Amino acid sequence: MNRKLRMGMVGGGTDAFIGAVHRLAAFMDNQIELVCGCFSINPEVSKSSGKLYFLPEERIYTTYQEMFEKESKLPEGERMDFVTIVTPNFVHFDPAVMALDHGFHVVLDKPMTFTLEEAYKLKEKLDETGLTFALTHTYSGYPAVKHARKMIADGQLGKIRKIFVEYPQGWLSSKLEDTGNAQASWRTDPKRSGKAGCMGDIGTHVHHLAEYMTGLKVTELCAELNVFVPNRLLDDDGAAFLRFDNGAKGVLMATQIAAGEENAIRIRVYGDKGGIDWEQMEPNTLRVKWLGQPMQVLRVGTSLDSAVAAHNTRVPGGHPEGYLEAFANIYRNFALTVRAKANGEEPTPEMLDFPGVDDGIRGMQFIETVVSAGYNDEVKWVKFGETI
């Protein structure tokens, strides 16, 4: 395979938020082109969106079922190679399974599915088809995060003891779902979002970030979930104490009612030799704190000396790289993997460095556990992936 990968989309019309970001990320490295889509639940919006994206009429579909059926019948040289699914959480599993059944690789946004049971079934389907799957946990795409992960894996911080990870947002501080805001409306509706609100939407991101950066796994948690905005149906705030499989302890916080906050993700990881501190709103700086020595300030493009940081960095230091590039790293590594496999080559570990189905299962287990623990004042610790 010596060409761009052909991408289809489910969701991502002019009525949507994150679909446009996916396209920017997918196209950034000239590895991928958009060839078709069912861009909206509203057929008119799907049609008008596809036209805006300069697609031929016959490749703009009004249902994803129609898209997978018709695309799979096109000649191999024309049909899409993979689909990106960027719909509300309750429309993740069906299109993903249907795409795999029709032979298409899948990029899916988080949380992976609506229920944990669906997550296990999706893994079975992937095992059965052997196709490639990426889950867009964006924050794992940053070069500074990958470099920190390498430092931790190399033991530079010593034995990891303490992890603080937080994601405060403020945009759901009032009852935005009653104002016609589409994104707020499905995120606060248990029938479309799933068991969790804030914890499913952004808690899963920081849970993933903590496990990805440290290479550790949460084994148990103790949580409190809150609904601050009156009559809201799902959590809009919460926190959890975490126990990790190496004995480290963590504190996770996610909230969407921290009035005035943007996307203030921060992770701090401390070992017995030192710690790292990274904030996504200042993504090109990695602060490394050493016991008894001055703090180091490492910068993307200048002083991150790992191969993994270089592989995921595009411009020299001081030229800001950020959210779109982090997203694009997931797409590029996914595309390199799909192409390598198509050519009968073994993808390198750097190509394979993107979140997949096992991360998605961990995310759904996190939702299950944090919701189970989060409203129960009687039981202190809940085992990860279990309910009480």
Site for ligand NAD, rule CB under 6 A:
10-13, 15-19, 38, 40-41, 64, 86-89, 91, 109-110, 136, 138, 182-183, 186, 201
CA atoms within 13 A on the CB side of 7: 31
Closest by CA position to 212, among listed 272, 269, 271: 269
CA 198, 199, 203, 208 dihedral sign is negative
Q: Where are the alpha helices (DSSP H) in 295-356?
A: 307-311, 323-342
- Contact at 8 Å (CB) between 188 and 172? yes
- Contact at 8 Å (CB) between 203 and 211? no
Instruction: Decide: residue 277, CB within 10 A, 0-12 exposed, 13-18 middle, 19+ buried.
Output: middle
Query: CB-wise, 13 or 250, nearer to ligand NAD?
Result: 13
Task: Please report how close the Cβ of residue 126 comes to ligand NAD at its closest, in angstroms.
Answer: 18
Query: CB-wise, 21 or 382, nearer to ligand NAD?
Result: 21
Query: CB-wise, 95 or 275, nearer to ligand NAD?
Result: 95
Neighbouring-strand partners of residue 133: 106
Query: CB-wise, 138 or 214, nearer to ligand NAD?
Result: 138
Task: Please report how close the Cβ of residue 54 comes to ligand NAD at its closest, in angstroms.
Answer: 18
Task: Please report how close the Cβ of residue 150 comes to ligand NAD at its closest, in angstroms.
Answer: 23
Task: Please report how close the Cβ of residue 15 comes to ligand NAD at its closest, in angstroms.
Answer: 5
Query: CB-wise, 21 or 276, nearer to ligand NAD?
Result: 21
Task: Please report how close the Cβ of residue 355 comes to ligand NAD at its closest, in angstroms.
Answer: 10
Query: CB-wise, 182 or 295, nearer to ligand NAD?
Result: 182
Pairing verdict, β 237-244 and 249-255: antiparallel
Task: Please report how close the Cβ of residue 272 comes to ligand NAD at its closest, in angstroms.
Answer: 33
Query: CB-wise, 87 or 329, nearer to ligand NAD?
Result: 87
DSSP label at residue 103: T
Closest by CA position to 92, among listed 368, 363, 295: 363
Task: Please report how close the Cβ of residue 118 comes to ligand NAD at its closest, in angstroms.
Answer: 13
Closest by CA position to 368, among listed 248, 218, 162: 218
Query: CB-wise, 220 or 359, nearer to ligand NAD?
Result: 359
The number of beta carbons lying within 10 Å of the beta carbon of residue 343 is 9
If you write DSSP's letter for every residue of 242-283 in order, what string do you get? Answer: EEETTS-EEEEEEES-STT-----EEEEEESSEEEEEETTST
Task: Please report how close the Cβ of residue 182 comes to ligand NAD at its closest, in angstroms.
Answer: 5
Residues 106 and 80: their CA atoms lie apart, in Å, by 11
Sheet holding 5-11, edge to edge: 32-38, 5-11, 82-86, 105-108, 133-135
Query: CB-wise, 234 or 248, nearer to ligand NAD?
Result: 234
Task: Please report how close the Cβ of residue 110 comes to ligand NAD at its closest, in angstroms.
Answer: 6
Task: Please report how close the Cβ of residue 89 comes to ligand NAD at its closest, in angstroms.
Answer: 5
- Contact at 8 Å (CB) between 194 and 111? yes
Residues 238 and 334: their CA atoms lie apart, in Å, by 33
Pairing verdict, β 105-108 and 82-86: parallel
Query: CB-wise, 8 or 271, nearer to ligand NAD?
Result: 8
